[in-house]
Structure 1
């Protein structure tokens, strides 16, 4: 386990409008970059002073015009070890890190992947990120999904970014190659929950969590469709589950019905591409968010990886070689 600790020093003044409110409520108003549970724990641990006096009761009533100080330490949150793993860093400042994740790289350690993950790389790249929950990882990408991810380098940044996710402010757009020819774009609104029998899979379930995916057609081929998708929610495997639900699973995603389907008369080159594409054809192409410190709306883009470019080129050539096939 790493041993780093961050010291937190906060200072503020309660207002007359805070009169009668609980201390934990007022701290959440004064220091919104920290979670209420964290602020409450600091109160109980004796890390909060009002006019120089320690107050340990979260329900303590505020009078107004009181000087507030918080002096606490952010404990180490992560037990994984740092590892020198190259990251494709698209953007970095004191608060956030944007990376372009390659295929075959796991985000979090887990069964079968105890190290060699994005988290291990972050522990080596960013000092003290082990004091940020989940090493600052705000949202995940599946192991074989490529593209953009945002990482918070501080607790306040993470609090802001998680809030943006929950309020659906953060925008995430993907590109994918789906099986079958789709006529037009649309929206899939279907709740997602754990699969009834496959515990590592998700499925559309009546009592699952709400999930909404918007999609539009970029290019139609005779047996496939290149799509642009936008997440309104962020459920596990959401795009993969939703596309399978509308009978257009992603190429290379056998877990959700995307096994290779060869168009009639497919060339040997196309057969090789479809059979050799051993991951879901899904790429996080664009990420937009309000910067947690400046508030500036920022957008990053990542081009399609080479394997998806080659795959789409192959299905395009197949379509051009079969002009009489119905689209």
Structure 2
């Protein structure tokens, strides 16, 4: 195995390869052959997925100065070293499925970085320097232990896709609404109780996923012309006097609601956390189910209410006319 590895790296050096694949090699240390002499000056893409690496060398940027993409998915890396900030040409960094506990502030020096994937690690926070990544388009930090998002995340003006699923977020900072290029926001499986009222105001934001946030009571009105995924927690199905319907526990894209007129009354009715209850006989021991108002029901109820109001106004006008005639 070692001789084959040396041969692969030697060929890449002699032939000035731009891509080097070292996946599934059971590597426990970064190969010294990559760091010998001048390194691999022409290498642009390094694939080292599914090994057993625990750290990265400090002189990585010196030996691989033209690295554009670095794939380290499924290793055992605990800390991103400060030297990572010297890879000035790096555009894609994949450290998903590792054991990361700390991301060093020097990551903010990767000014060319466009795609950062840190999913399925042990991160409890991200440094505010993430906000210095002006070219960042994709950020995946799902399946970690995050309680909050980076303070300066709203400064990532090129960010288009943000995935924060399966963390421990209680709230979404309002400055997140200032991201001008954000197209897709996924925050499923957190502990969200509310969302910023400005969320969805940007025309660029088209997809919002908040599945399995069981404390979430409502959605901002700006989101009702977006594609939304929203549901209750399937684990709550058999708890307490309320029971969620199984078909309502899955993520459902509700679709665009631009094809039907919207009135303030309908907007008030479209509330996630205000279900209409259907009571069943206690003797049957059948759990009481929750029905959520659909857009069609909201429109019907809203128009019915408006109809009643209009009828009341006509009745008042008729009564007034009759009274004047009698006088």
TM-score bracket, normalised by the shorter chain, equals under 0.3
Relative to the length of structure 1, the TM-score reads 0.22
State the structure with bigger RCO (CA 8 A, min sep 6), 1 or 2. 1
More strand by share: 1
TM-score normalized with structure 2 length: 0.22
